[in-house]
């Protein structure tokens, strides 16, 4: 019972924090913290992009293995793909990470095995998202502890801000089956 009460209190506080931040756009920004509110030192910052410091700190305060950072840019997603070249990322220790392309819905209404349709090349690729150009970049590297680190950069149009939303997701430990 005490665990449920603590969970409800935490949910209420988290909901209140989101409500206050959504209703109070004039709140001061949180201080930048690399890896929690701004990009990690081994990931180049896309030109003309701005971090959403408050959202980043809120979403990553309890993160341990997966961190997501929100950035916005007036530049189109094609420029994101052109910026994050394999060469630029290699200078920062990253390699293109290919992954299997699977049918969105697997056999057994999502409960069965995924059916491979091919592989991506890794790095940055353009695709259509709701009929608009978008970018997906996938890279990986080993950290100092020999753990697999994966980086996904997803750039797509954000209808609310009329900008490009860049989501940087860093995962410690592979979520992609390596070949």
Phi and psi (nearest 5°) for 9?
-65, -45
- How far apart CA 4 and CA 63 sit, in angstroms, is 21
- How far apart CA 114 and CA 99 sit, in angstroms, is 13
**pLDDT tens for the 179 residues of the chain, in order:** 334 433 333 333 334 344 334 444 455 555 666 767 788 889 999 989 999 988 888 877 776 788 899 999 999 999 999 999 999 999 999 999 887 766 555 555 556 666 667 777 789 999 888 889 999 999 999 988 888 999 999 999 999 999 999 999 999 885 544 54
The residue extents of the domains of the chain are: 34-172
Q: What is the b/e burial string over 25-38, where b = at least 16 CB atoms within 10 angstroms of the residue's CB?
A: eeeeebeeeebbbb
pTM as predicted? 0.72
- How far apart CA 81 and CA 87 sit, in angstroms, is 12
- How far apart CA 56 and CA 33 sit, in angstroms, is 9
């Amino acid at each position: 019972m005490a665990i449920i009460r603590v969970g409800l209190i935490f949910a209420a506080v988290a909901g209140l924090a989101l409500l206050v931040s959504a209703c109070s756009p004039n709140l001061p920004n949180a201080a930048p913290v690399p890896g929690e509110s701004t990009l990690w030192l081994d990931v180049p910052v896309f030109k003309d992009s701005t971090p959403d410091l408050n959202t980043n700190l809120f979403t990553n305060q309890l993160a341990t293995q997966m961190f997501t950072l929100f950035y916005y840019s007036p530049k189109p997603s094609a420029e994101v793909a052109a910026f994050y070249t394999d060469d630029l990322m290699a200078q920062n220790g990253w390699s293109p990470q290919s992954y299997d392309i699977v049918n969105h819905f697997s056999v057994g209404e999502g409960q069965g095995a995924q059916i491979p349709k091919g592989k991506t090349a890794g790095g940055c690729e353009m695709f259509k998202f709701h009929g608009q150009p978008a970018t997906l970049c996938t890279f990986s590297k080993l950290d100092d502890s020999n753990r697999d680190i994966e980086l996904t950069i997803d750039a797509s149009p954000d209808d609310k801000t009329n900008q490009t939303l860049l989501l940087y997701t860093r995962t410690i430990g592979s979520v992609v089956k390596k070949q």
